[in-house]
Chain A
Amino acid sequence: MAELTQLTAVELAARLAAGEVTAREAVDAHLDRIAALDGVVADGDVWAAKPAEELGADEPHAYLAVTAAAARAHADDIDARRAAGARLGPLAGVPLALKDVLTMRGAPTTCGSRMLEGWIPPYDATVTERLRAADVVVLGKTNMDEFAMGSSTENSAFGLTRNPWDLDRVPGGSSGGSATAVAGLMAPLAIGTDTGGSIRQPAALTGLVGVKPTYGTMSRYGLVAFASSLDQAGPFARTVEDAALLQSVTWGHDPRDATSVPGEVPDLLAGLKRGVAGLKVGVVRELQGEGYEPGVEAVFAEALERLAALGAEIVEVSLPHAPFGLPAYYLIAPSEASSNLARFDGVRYGLRVDAPTAEEMNAATRAAGFGPEVKRRIMIGTHALSSGYFDAYYLQASKIRTLIADDFRAAFEQVDVLVSPTSPSVAFRLGDKTADPMAMYLNDVATVPASLAGIPALSLPAGLAAAPDDPSTSLPVGLQVMAPLKRDDVMYRAAWAFEEATGFRPVPVGPRAVATHDATQEVR
């Protein structure tokens, strides 16, 4: 019998429903693997990650906190209800890793920041609440770039997260902990958040499916805000169907989020397996070429051939304003961040550094509580919004947003979905880009346009490419699929057909990959 940690969510849910495995066994198998592998102190109700300086180079550090006791209690409760004949949801008993930017009662929410170290939120995020209602069992909170600002998960105040494919490389970011948890078989599912690519890029770099749903369809209530007009939570999974199921149980209108889109959301499962014959697939001219690694481009070209072989019609389309997406993003996101992060003032939650006056206390607290990248973005945003600069920066960037959305609208009059590489590079080495903020920002070049337009976008594994700095190491490459607003269903349909046809389901292998087989995990 395959190890429980290797199963997809759909496979695990089927065994749970058939009574072959209990939710408690599924949860314990994952907790055992986390305890053996991840670098946590497996002690007490909530397991804490080791301090950064004590983490070993072989410990991926996906989790910041593991809510072991609550997960076991939830699993036992599910098993009891199942035994009593209750009707349970399609993912009941399946474990999940939750990004530490979403609140959950009874566990710390840190956002990867000293600013919130030790803070226990007094309420659940809507996403957390819906996971609970669907009987998805939260295993713990995952590491992230501080306040979701970064593309490598090297900006966490609690130490970096490593890529399961090569522990010397980054998992991408900012949702790198969630990606590593799923790719490292420490959860079959995870929730991340994506502002400019923070789900899709780590999914690409770790060989997973990662989805940014249509803006406004996943509640932001209880999601600690970075850039409110862009932030969206979404799924990580090992298969397209797993991701679709997870999105299905978490999305939909929420009256507690004023930016939530009213009305029904489409059924993601009904047409999932209809195939792509006759579907028109647009290749975005501006999201390839210069700046994209040759290995990434080769896998992308192969993916287009496969889609054509499946009966999709491939056409080239242009998004003329897409090249302005990244500069616009790096004005809009920091501007909104500077406003959102004003709430961390040393008064209501988190850190306080005492000083004689309120203003000095605010400034000293923020200086001590925020890391370098967060300070950088607050500074950019404060400058961009300051008197005399607003029109040239934030307002102009918001107009470019309109032009990009118009470009997408025109493109979707010609095609059903658009595709591009998700990331210009495969996973890079730890430390390679930390000294140069601009080099790090360029990771987001292909993901940011969809964020600005609010449209749904997904990354799925398309193949492997040799690392440019080490030809003996093969690393995953992601294919990005984008669809019109609220047509997440079409996006999933195209992705499922590609996955089904390629049969490509990458599992971390290689000389520096995390162990994916552990004899102690066998189901007895």
Chain B
Amino acid sequence: MALSEDEVRHVARLARLALSDEEVAALAPQLSAILGYAEQVGEVAADEVVPTTHPFALADVTRPDERTPSLPREDVLAGAPAVEQDRFAVPRIVAEEG
């Protein structure tokens, strides 16, 4: 299928990517070509086939419920772009009432 520039902008919004107009213009034909190629998968009749996500079909993988030490807080926060009061700091998430 061919993706329009508007569809590219919609997908970019879903993917949280602030794309420039140039990027959108370049991506529309590239994504269309890649999806056009990938759509060959539709040529295979596979309605009754069970999908695979792991070659060994592992199920319910658990570990023993034992207490183990976590990483030290300061080590984890050391790589964060912004920290406040020993926590990750983020901008406002909920918009203010107009």
Interface residues on B, range: 35 or more
> What are the residues of chain B within 8 A of A453 when measuring CB–CB?
55
Q: Could you give, for residues 6-19 of chain B, a 1 whenever the CB lies within 8 Å of some chain A CB and a 0 otherwise?
A: 01100111111111
Q: Of all chain B residues, which has the CB nearest A123?
A: B71
Q: Could you give, for residues 318-349 of chain A, a 1 whenever the CB lies within 8 Å of some chain B CB and a 0 otherwise?
A: 00010010111011000000100010011111
> Is A285 on the interface with B (CB-CB < 8 A)?
no
**Is there contact, CB below 8 Å, between A401 and B79?**
no
A-B contacts, 13 listed (Cβ < 8 Å): A122-B72, A216-B55, A324-B41, A327-B38, A348-B80, A349-B79, A357-B92, A357-B93, A382-B11, A384-B35, A438-B34, A455-B55, A485-B55
Stretch at the interface among A67-75, A254-262, A268-276, A463-471: A254-262
> What are the residues of chain B within 8 A of A349 when measuring CB–CB?
79-81
Q: For the complex formed, measure the closest distance between the CB of B76 and the CB atoms of chain A, giving whole angstroms.
A: 6
**Is there contact, CB below 8 Å, between B16 and A399?**
no
Given A328-B41, A396-B46, A453-B55: A361 touches B17 (CB 8 Å cut-off): no
> Is A104 on the interface with B (CB-CB < 8 A)?
no
Q: For the complex formed, measure the closest distance between the CB of A262 and the CB atoms of chain B, giving whole angstroms.
A: 8
Q: Of all chain B residues, which has the CB nearest A346?
A: B81
Q: For the complex formed, measure the closest distance between the CB of B19 and the CB atoms of chain A, giving whole angstroms.
A: 6
**Is there contact, CB below 8 Å, between B39 and A379?**
no
Alpha-carbon distance between A380 and B12 when the two chains are bound, in angstroms: 10
> What are the residues of chain A within 8 A of B61 when measuring CB–CB?
258-259
**Is there contact, CB below 8 Å, between A397 and B41?**
yes
Q: Could you give, for residues 174-194 of chain A, a 1 whenever the CB lies within 8 Å of some chain B CB and a 0 otherwise?
A: 000000000000000000000
**Is there contact, CB below 8 Å, between B56 and A485?**
yes
**Is there contact, CB below 8 Å, between A393 and B41?**
yes
Given A327-B37, A379-B31: A402 touches B52 (CB 8 Å cut-off): yes
**Is there contact, CB below 8 Å, between A396 and B41?**
yes
Alpha-carbon distance between A383 and B91 when the two chains are bound, in angstroms: 27
Interface residues on A, range: 35 or more
> Is A290 on the interface with B (CB-CB < 8 A)?
no
Alpha-carbon distance between A176 and B38 when the two chains are bound, in angstroms: 26
> Is A119 on the interface with B (CB-CB < 8 A)?
yes
Alpha-carbon distance between A324 and B39 when the two chains are bound, in angstroms: 10
Q: For the complex formed, measure the closest distance between the CB of A454 and the CB atoms of chain B, giving whole angstroms.
A: 3
> What are the residues of chain B within 8 A of A255 when measuring CB–CB?
63
- Among the interface residues A360, A363, A396, which one has the most CB atoms of the partner chain B within 10 A? A396
**Is there contact, CB below 8 Å, between B51 and A399?**
yes
> Is A350 on the interface with B (CB-CB < 8 A)?
yes
**Is there contact, CB below 8 Å, between A375 and B23?**
yes
**Is there contact, CB below 8 Å, between B27 and A401?**
no
**Is there contact, CB below 8 Å, between A364 and B18?**
yes
**Is there contact, CB below 8 Å, between B81 and A358?**
no
Q: For the complex formed, measure the closest distance between the CB of B22 and the CB atoms of chain A, giving whole angstroms.
A: 11
Alpha-carbon distance between A397 and B43 when the two chains are bound, in angstroms: 11
Alpha-carbon distance between A399 and B53 when the two chains are bound, in angstroms: 9
